[in-house]
Amino acid sequence: MSDRTADLTDALEALMRAIGPPPAPADQLGQALRRVDDLTGALPPSAPPQLRHFLERRSYVKALALLRGG
């Protein structure tokens, strides 16, 4: 797993924790979402099209499953 992929996996896991239950405060949720968005925007052109598709459509559970190999 590349550093970029590991960072994105970590960011998605943090977002899932912030979503809850119990939900995190709004500022923490917003910060987690911004981190995922930043990493999504930094994906190289060689990133898997399905991963890009999930992230662009905010299908974060599916993106995380894909990154975990599922």
* pLDDT tier, 1 (very low <50, low <70, confident <90, very high otherwise): low
Domain ranges of the chain: 3-67
Q: What is the pLDDT of residues 3-46, one digit of tens each?
A: 889 999 999 999 999 999 999 999 999 999 999 999 999 999 99
Q: Write down the pLDDT at residue 2.
A: 83
Helix spans in 1-70 (H):
3-19, 26-41, 49-56, 60-67
Q: Write down the pLDDT at residue 61.
A: 98
How far apart, in Å, are the Cα atoms of 46 and each of 6, 20, 30, 31, 38?
Answer: 16, 32, 28, 26, 17
Contacts of 62 (CB under 8 A, 6+ apart): 54
pLDDT tops 90 at residue 70: no
